[in-house]
Structure 1
C-alpha cells in the first residue's frame, strides 16, 4: 500500500520521454548508495518501454549480490539513511515469478520525492529475470505493447483505487508473461 504522501487516484498516461532521463538520475544515486552490494541497476516496468502508457511511477530494479539477511540489512540501512522507506507489506520479502520463489525488498522514495519503486532482487533470481523479460518483450512486440497499454488505460478509467487496480491487473500480467515466455523461447532471449 502507498504511504500517505503517495495516495492518489490511479492514472495511466502516455509515455513520457523524460522517464529514461529520470531513471538515469535515480540509478546513479542508487549505485552511489549501494556500492558493492549492487550488481546492476535496471529501468523496468512500463515506464521503461518506449511508447507504452504507464502510471507516472518509475520502477527501478537493483540486482543485488545477495539478499541474504546480512546484505538485506546493509542495503536497508544505506537506503533508509538516505530517506528511502521500506514497504511494510508481507509481500515485500518474497515473490513468486513464473512459479519460482525469490527474495526481494521494495522501497518507496523519500517523502515528497519523485514517485518510484526501488525493487531489490537477487541478481540471478527469478524476479530479476521476470522484470527484464517483461520489459524486453514489450519493447520488442509492438502488438503486445499496444494491447497492454490499452488494457491499463481502460482499467485505470474504471478503477481508481491502487490496490483494486493491482488485484485486477495481476491475472492479466500473468497472461502477458505467458506470451513473453513463448517469445523468449522462440528468440533465445536471455537476461542482459
Structure 2
C-alpha cells in the first residue's frame, strides 16, 4: 500500500463548484433522508489553504435511518469503521454525542470525505461553526493555515501525528468561535452558505 503524503495547497476557486456537483449527486440519491448537505472543512473557507479534499457533512435526523446506507451504496460509497469524531476536552455531552458515520466515496469521484452526523448533535454544530468562524476571521484562518502547512511539512506521511496536533488546535479556534457565535447570534439553522 503506497504511503499517502499530506499536502496543503493554496485555495482553489473551483472547490465550491466541485462541492456543488457532489451535493447534487447526494441530494438525488438521498432525497428526504438528508435534512441538509453542507460544504465544511477548509475547502469551504474562501482563501484558506487546504488538502485537496472536499469535506461534506450530511445532516440526518437519525444516524441509523435505514434509507441512508443503501442510498449511498447505490452511488458507490462504502461505509468505513470510523464512527466518532474527536471529542474536545471539557465536553459535557459525552462521547455518544460525537458519534457519526463516515463513508468513502466511489473511486471515480474527486477526493471527498462524507461525514454523516445527526443535526441536533454537537459534532454537527462544531463543523458548521468552525467553518463560519474561519470565514469571518481572516486572522484565525491565516493562523490555522500556517499551522496546517507546518504540520504537513513536519509529518508529511504521518496522518496520526498531523491530527494529534491539528485537533487540539481546532479546539482552541472553537473557543474564539463560540464567543463570536454568542456575540452575533449565530446558529446552525442559519449557518452560512455551502459554497
Q: TM-score, normalised by structure 1?
A: 0.88
Partner of 1:16: 12
Partner of 1:116: 112
Question: In structure 2, how many angstroms separate the alpha carbons of the residues matched to 1:94 and 1:134?
Answer: 14
**Ranges of 4+ aligned residues in structure 1 off by more than 4 Å:** none
What RMSD, in angstroms, separates the aligned Cα atoms of the two structures? Answer: 1.8
Deviation at 1:88, TM superposition (A): 1.5
Q: Deviations over 1:48-72 (max 9, x none)?
A: 00010111111001111222x3x0x
Q: Deviations over 1:85-127 (max 9, x none)?
A: 21213xx256646723243111111124211111111122211
Gaps of 5+ in 2: 191-195
Residues 1:185 and 2:182 are matched in the alignment:
yes
Q: TM-score, normalised by structure 2?
A: 0.87
Gaps of 5+ in 1: none
Structure 1 residues 14 and 113: alpha-carbon distance in aligned structure 2, compared to 1, 3 A threshold? same
Question: In structure 1, how many angstroms separate the alpha carbons of the residues matched to 2:132 and 2:15?
Answer: 16
Residues 1:46 and 2:42 are matched in the alignment:
yes
Partner of 2:79: 86
Is the deviation greater in 166-175 or in 39-48? 166-175
Higher strand share: 1
Question: In structure 1, how many angstroms separate the alpha carbons of the residues matched to 2:150 and 2:87?
Answer: 27
| Selected match of 2:126 from 126, 130, 139 | 130
